[in-house]
Homo-oligomer: A and B are copies of this chain.
Amino acid sequence: MRPEEAVPRLRALGFGEADAATLADHFLDAERRGSLGHGLSRIEWLEGLDGIDPRARPTRAVREPGYERWTSNGALGYLTLAAIVAAQLLDPPERARLVVADAFPTGALGYWARKLADGGLVAALTATSPPRLAHPEGGPRLAGTNPLALGVPSSDGRPLVADVSMGKVTHGDVLRGAAREEDLVPFGGEQAHKAFALAVGLQAVVDALVGGEGYGAVLLVARPDADPVPGLRGRAAGVRLPGDR
């Protein structure tokens, strides 16, 4: 798929102009960053999904100073997170806020963390997906690849964005044929039990905070009290930091 096909094909799925642009921006950003499993291949994947409601809109069900609960109402997780991120940037927390939502699929979480960090907010975001990771010693698949994305603003205009999936490969790479299903295991080789523990721990945190039977996202946003990234980049002396291109 060529980049210019993205919006027309999303429009053909029934998405309105603004939502198609939001979705296309996420997919094209993933392509530019080499996260092809979160890129344009997902449009074909969406075209094959049953039951998408392109007119569904997420709503903020609970709004308190340090807590928000959002409900997807059947909207795609991408659009739910886009609405959440826009709302945080419009009305940042005084200090910190926990945001929980049912949301699936949520895409490249670093994309959302970067938007928040670009807007001056520290962000930590995780989200669940269908159980694909089993314990490295065997047994049933118990946790999604459950990435953790961390975004920290920087006065040099280059926020630090770490976005780590607990899988050795991503499900998106399996979908697009770039990785094998049997490599959908916790990353870490001999120490894969560590990535498994993180995946299961994040799964339980999201399930406990979001509730319900589906998949969800948990986001912490906070105002920074300090600006550590320029100093860290200086000490790195040319080593590539997470999120740098």
Q: Is the CB of B201 within 8 A of A226?
A: no
Q: Answer whether residue A76 sits at the interface, using C-beta atoms and an 8 A cutoff.
A: no
Q: What number of A residues sit within 8 Å (CB to CB) of B?
A: 70
Contact with B along A204-219 (1 / 0, CB 8 A): 1101111110000000
Q: Tell yes or no: A237 within 8 A of B by CB.
A: yes
Are A164 and B194 neighbours in the complex by a CB distance under 8 Å?
yes
Looking across the interface, which residue of chain B has its beta carbon closest to that of A190? B189
Q: Which residues of B contact A142 (CB under 8 A)?
A: 232, 235-236, 239
B208 adjacent to A228 (CB under 8 Å): yes
Q: How many copies of this chain are found per oligomer?
A: 2
Interface residue from B96, B198, B232, B235 paired with A66 (Cβ < 8 Å)? B96
Q: Which residues of B contact A229 (CB under 8 A)?
A: 204, 208
Asked if A95 CB lies within 8 Å of chain B CBs, one says yes
Instruction: Give the distance to chain B from A187, nearest Cβ to Cβ, in Å.
Output: 5
Q: A139: which of B100, B140, B209, B236 is its contact (CB, 8 Å)?
A: B236
Residues of B within 8 A of A189 (CB): 188-191
CB distance from A170 to the nearest CB of B (A): 12
Give the segment of A31-39, A50-58, A146-154 that binds chain B.
Answer: A146-154
Subset of 7 A-B contacts with CB under 8 Å = A66-B98, A96-B98, A98-B98, A152-B205, A162-B200, A188-B191, A194-B195
Known pairs A66-B95, A162-B200, A188-B191 / 17 extra A-B pairs, C-beta < 8 Å: A64-B94, A65-B66, A66-B66, A66-B93, A67-B95, A96-B98, A98-B98, A140-B235, A150-B202, A164-B194, A187-B188, A187-B194, A188-B194, A200-B232, A200-B241, A207-B228, A209-B222
